[in-house]
Chain A
């Protein structure tokens, strides 16, 4: 194992509130010591990190990886490269692959593929329903034993109320939760953009924002009914966030995340049919973007996930309504989140907590913290360094960034996974 002393960094640990210049010693893949006066055994290599920030490696609650079934879009190995460049050391992978991860052997397959990258903890979700088809619930017990982190149908909403009730109810037996893509399927079918003036002008079939809030409302009622834990993914509207805020105040087991596009972009990004900005859920009007920022500030949102969705040129170089929805998000997760820090919306530690300890706690994982004895999953970044997102030059395979052309401040300069440097 390559031991290392990282000196003079600005250590940032949202779990403990630490924000101070200090050093951190990596030994045998673990954090051996951290603090102002850490000393290393003679001969330990040292890295001077003056002016740089050192934080726990990011925990990404939600990413679609092309494998198995869509390797032309992205492989697990390629996703690991993009993750490392983005400072991400743990990824929860969606199960609506081909085949869907509704069988213990498939969950183990993805786990093994993740381990083989050597640079990433890849934690697959199990399918919430068999084949992610929304009808019968999957084998949560066996999937959990095989290593499934929680249950979801990924990009597909569980539209049937009875199925969702059973899923929430049954998952309790295994101490797990169900992640919902909150979009009423019958209202969203065929839609390509948020219903409203812009979609009308562009002649695009719209999805009313209420498609999100009504499914959130239904599932909150089901959480109340079952005592189960529902987690809403990539929440994008003020109406849905208001419902979640109220459900939390009521004490229900309701959590949620959002993704960078929903607090950094609004619907105008689809401009003249820009398919890289075609996402699911679709980008929203500015008032909703502001509501997402407010919910990040007040703690309604529990985590920021990359919502990485690799798509290739053939998926995107199409008329807008026919193009596949989804944006690449691994390499830009930290940068876009830091834009909200630079913009004055979030303190740095709070922003980082949404990327580290908060999702880790939600998942019941001991990662996302700078603690003595913890695995040395680390990201070293320059808070001020400027760069520009350029589709075509992103790490990994997927290039379909909705942030193409965006100038950012804050760049990853090094990533360590269990003490091994995987980027920089």
Chain B
């Protein structure tokens, strides 16, 4: 596949906000190709041969890190995983020091996850590598939004005109923010549903409709996207209890019936079963596309690495 325009002109993927619909569409098309290729069993292309991809994770993650690792390896890159435990990184010089270390290692592609919003952007200013944001604080998680969009597009045949309900802890969710930017850019109707204490200020200004009632919010939804209740980020009792949360905002059969009969259910994982989602829904192959999200994750990350590597080659 070739493109007539640079898809990620900054040479990084730091956020979905700011990407234009044609760029998003091109990334999804490329990712879809990789999804087909992956299913055919053809792997280890040499697109990234001789390139070094470093997974720099300041927060624990198994799924995203593994997904990037697999994507890099399938494209032939040398993949290194660096996990930096949060306890040893409370000093910010470490982030700048890390950048200098990475420069000395001649890293080409840097995948960063960090508990602080904007940390990948800060690193991108200091490293020579292309930086991919794998989740920063409560800001963005761009590859998650891409894989969610690809999953929806494959299931529903399109993005435009769909009604997508994003439910739960929107306040602390970088997944929600990236999805809101991507889906509104692609002309979906996006709703966010949650208790007012878990909805960020001025959320409507992001182009979404805000609901505090699950029944009203799910009515007519094509896609129900559940968010992980970020208990580890929860400061100071934003909800009184998880049982109350599940009662009013957890997805079970009864609530899912309020959405369209063919609505699909998504979750970025890892799930808190019995808190934001009932196991019966999560494991229902008719409704849940959670497994496919993981599959599309690898394909989307391959697409992003591919696009950034094109720019790397251009710069050589």
Contacts and interface: CB of A to CB of B under 8 A. Distances in A.
A319 B122 contact: yes
Given A197-B206, A200-B205, A322-B116, 13 more contacts: A190-B235, A195-B201, A196-B201, A197-B205, A202-B117, A203-B139, A203-B140, A203-B177, A204-B117, A273-B122, A318-B116, A319-B114, A319-B119
A403 B71 CA distance: 43
Given A203-B138, A203-B174, A317 B117 contact: no
A190 B172 CA distance: 14
B17 interface: yes
A348 interface: no
Contacts of B122: 273, 317-319
Contact of A318 (B95, B140, B203): B95
Interface in B177-227: 177, 200-203, 205-206
A321 B118 CA distance: 9
B119 A201 contact: no
Contacts of B17: 201
A341 interface: no
Contacts of B96: 317
A206 B137 CA distance: 14
Interface of A: 190, 195-197, 199-206, 208, 272-273, 314, 317-323
Contacts of B92: 314, 317-319, 322-323
A195 B205 CA distance: 13
B190 to A, nearest CB: 14
A227 to B, nearest CB: 36
A293 B118 CA distance: 31
Contacts of A320: 116-118
A309 B242 CA distance: 43
Contacts of B121: 272-273
Nearest to A324: B92
B93 interface: yes
Contacts of A273: 117-118, 121-122
A322 B118 CA distance: 10
Given A314-B92, A318-B95, A319-B95, A203 B201 contact: no
Contact of A200 (B116, B118, B119, B206): B206
Contact of B202 (A190, A196, A272): A196
A120 to B, nearest CB: 32
B136 interface: yes
A206 B139 contact: no
Contacts of B202: 196-197, 200
Given A273-B122, A319-B122, A320-B117, A202 B139 contact: yes
A285 to B, nearest CB: 10
Given A272-B121, A318-B92, A319-B119, A206 B140 contact: no
Contacts of A322: 92, 116
B172 to A, nearest CB: 9
Contacts of A317: 92-93, 96, 122
Contacts of A195: 201
A215 B186 CA distance: 44
Contacts of B137: 203, 319, 321
